[in-house]
């Protein structure tokens, strides 16, 4: 049984027994292990830089061939740029949201560009935002297939529609589950 000062916060109460010190040391190690994810977020930043490079290459190619492109080809190019941008947005959400949720609090209180969604981020909301982004990306892929339907295999389009509907169903289930969990937390 540990004896502690009533003015001492509950989270900081410590016992001087060897087992308590071992337990505290292990808990400190477990909590510090969150930093193992930091290099993963660094790697995602590199991937986002690569996506920006890919975007610029595709944009350059569109600029070079603008006078030779049919409207359909140009539209497919623009949809490709939107696709790359949406994947980059997805990466940004994962990097910022994941880091802030699982690694360390971001000290951005006074920053004028601080995203509004950071004030109420949690793992559930990140999942829903990610799933919604995947639906957006899937929608762009479907739209590209419909624009270029004469060059698409009908079976391939059916699979894209099936995958898109699966994403859509997943988001609806995630949102519904999150809503139920929010209600339970309020009670």
**Of all residues in the chain, what percent carry a pLDDT higher than 90?**
36
| Domain ranges (residues) in the chain | 36-186
Of residues 128 and 98, the one with the higher pLDDT is 98
The candidate with the shortest Cα–Cα distance to 175, out of 118, 119, 115, 135, is: 135
Residue 116 near residue 105 (C-beta atoms within 8 A): no
Q: What is the distance between the alpha carbons of residues 141 and 163, in angstroms, rounded to a whole number?
A: 11
Helix 154-186 to helix 123-147 angle (10° resolution) is: 160
CB atoms within 10 A of CB 90: 20
Residue 7 token pair: 């003015």
Q: Note the pLDDT of residue 7.
A: 47
The DSSP result for 66-78, as a single string, is TTT--HHHHHHHH
Q: How far apart are CA 64 and CA 183, in angstroms?
A: 55
% pLDDT > 70, the chain: 91
Question: Which pLDDT score is estimated for 14?
Answer: 52
pLDDT digits (tens, 9 = 90+) for 126-145: 777 788 888 888 899 899 88
């Amino acid at each position: 049984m540990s004896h502690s000062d009533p003015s001492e916060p509950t989270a900081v109460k410590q016992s001087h027994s060897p087992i308590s010190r071992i337990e505290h040391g292990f808990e400190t190690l477990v909590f510090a292990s969150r930093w193992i994810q930091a290099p993963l977020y660094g790697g995602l930043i590199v991937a986002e830089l690569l996506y920006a490079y890919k975007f610029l290459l595709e944009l350059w190619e569109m600029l070079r061939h603008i006078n030779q492109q049919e409207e359909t080809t140009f539209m497919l190019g623009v949809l490709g740029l939107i696709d790359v941008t949406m994947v980059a947005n997805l990466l940004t959400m994962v990097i910022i949201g994941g880091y802030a949720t699982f690694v360390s609090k971001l000290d951005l209180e006074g920053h004028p560009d601080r995203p509004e969604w950071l004030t109420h981020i949690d793992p559930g909301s990140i999942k829903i935002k990610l799933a919604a982004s995947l639906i957006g990306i899937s929608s762009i892929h479907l739209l590209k297939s419909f624009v270029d339907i004469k060059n698409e295999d009908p079976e391939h389009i059916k699979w894209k529609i099936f995958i898109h509907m699966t994403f859509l169903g997943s988001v609806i289930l995630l949102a519904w589950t999150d809503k139920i969990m929010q209600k339970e937390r309020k009670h």
